[in-house]
């Protein structure tokens, strides 16, 4: 069952990364697209930071809780980024090509 959940989360991460990268590249151009994509890369880490911050264990010492928080955040962020960055890059490439094709088609007419 855990494997099925992991596959589901992987699909969600890849779909969100691709979709966000595609929309950013399709709608924005130049420096705005690069800045938007950099911010988009930080989105899952920010989400994980909030999620881990809300799930505290009151039985741990402050030092142990802090260590557990940062260790979970770093390790999970690395795992998420392995799928997020390539999906986002691929989506951005596809979005840029779609925007270029739409601009070329608009220019021809």
For the record, the structure tokens of 73 come out as 């955040």
Which residues have CB under 8 Å from 106's CB, separation 6+? Answer: none
Tens of pLDDT, residue by residue over 72-82, are 889 989 988 99
pLDDT band at 6 (very low <50, low <70, confident <90, very high): confident
Q: Give the rounded distance of the alpha carbon of 55 from its chain centre.
A: 21
pLDDT band at 15 (very low <50, low <70, confident <90, very high): very high
Does 108 have pLDDT greater than 80? no
Task: Say if residues 98 and 24 touch (Cβ distance below 8 Å).
Answer: no
In this predicted model, which residue has the larger pLDDT, 39 or 54?
39
The stretches of the chain forming alpha helices (DSSP H) are 2-27, 31-54, 62-108
Predicted TM-score of the model (pTM): 0.74
């Amino acid at each position: 069952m855990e494997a099925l959940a992991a596959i589901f989360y992987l699909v969600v991460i890849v779909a969100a990364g691709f979709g966000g990268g595609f929309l950013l590249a399709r709608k924005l151009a130049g420096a705005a697209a690069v800045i938007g994509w950099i911010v988009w890369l930080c989105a899952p880490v920010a989400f994980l930071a909030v999620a881990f911050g809300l799930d505290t264990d009151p039985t741990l010492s402050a030092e142990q809780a802090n260590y557990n928080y940062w260790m979970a955040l770093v390790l999970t962020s690395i795992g998420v980024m392995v799928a997020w960055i390539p999906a986002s890059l691929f989506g951005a490439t596809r979005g840029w090509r779609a925007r270029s094709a739409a601009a070329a088609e608009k220019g021809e007419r």
